[in-house]
């Protein structure tokens, strides 16, 4: 569950609209949105921990049933490749936004990309190589310390 203050919901609505269109095994699924006046609650696929948790807490990969370093990288890359194939640029890839969830049927772990708050969907004109770089880097988006060096 992601909780957003109602006055900031306009930004979150963009993320929700994008999440509704995304369907891939390595991208977090969106379920619904509810509000109580103060907050909007966004229900997304349940994950047990993030890649940051795995690294920072030195959680044992043996607990991850079917995941190792290579499969985490492969799952992340598959999710990113899907996003890029539909002209979505995430702009905030970092360990906190790579989630580890349990597959509902098999019980094995899977990798999910999450948090599309600063992502951008490129329009036709922005898809060219020269315009792509310029249009996505005018305003630096992302988390300090995780912004791609070519953007800086």
* Contact status, residue 75 vs residue 26, Cβ threshold 8 Å: yes
* Contact status, residue 101 vs residue 110, Cβ threshold 8 Å: yes
Residue showing tokens 């993030």: 50
* Contact status, residue 90 vs residue 143, Cβ threshold 8 Å: no
Q: Is 53 a catalytic residue?
A: no
The 3-state DSSP class for residue 13 equals helix
Long-range contact set of residues 6-9: C-beta below 8 Å, sequence gap at least 24: 6/35, 6/37, 6/38, 6/39, 6/40, 9/35, 9/40
Exactly one of 36, 53, 92, 144 is catalytic; name it: 92
The residues assigned a catalytic role are 92
């Amino acid at each position: 569950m992601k909780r957003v203050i109602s006055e900031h919901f306009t930004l979150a609505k963009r993320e929700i609209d994008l999440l509704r269109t995304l369907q891939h095994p390595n991208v977090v699924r969106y379920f619904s949105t509810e509000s109580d006046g103060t907050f909007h609650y966004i229900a997304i696929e349940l994950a047990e921990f993030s890649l940051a948790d795995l690294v920072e807490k030195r959680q044992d990969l043996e607990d991850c049933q079917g995941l190792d370093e290579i499969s985490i990288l492969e799952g992340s890359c598959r999710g990113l490749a899907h996003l890029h194939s539909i002209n979505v640029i995430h702009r905030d890839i970092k360990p906190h936004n790579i989630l580890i969830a349990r597959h509902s049927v098999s019980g094995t772990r899977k990798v999910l990309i999450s948090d599309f708050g600063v992502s951008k969907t490129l329009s036709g004109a922005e898809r060219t190589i020269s315009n792509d770089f310029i249009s996505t880097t005018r305003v630096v988006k992302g988390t300090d310390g995780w912004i791609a060096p070519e953007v800086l």
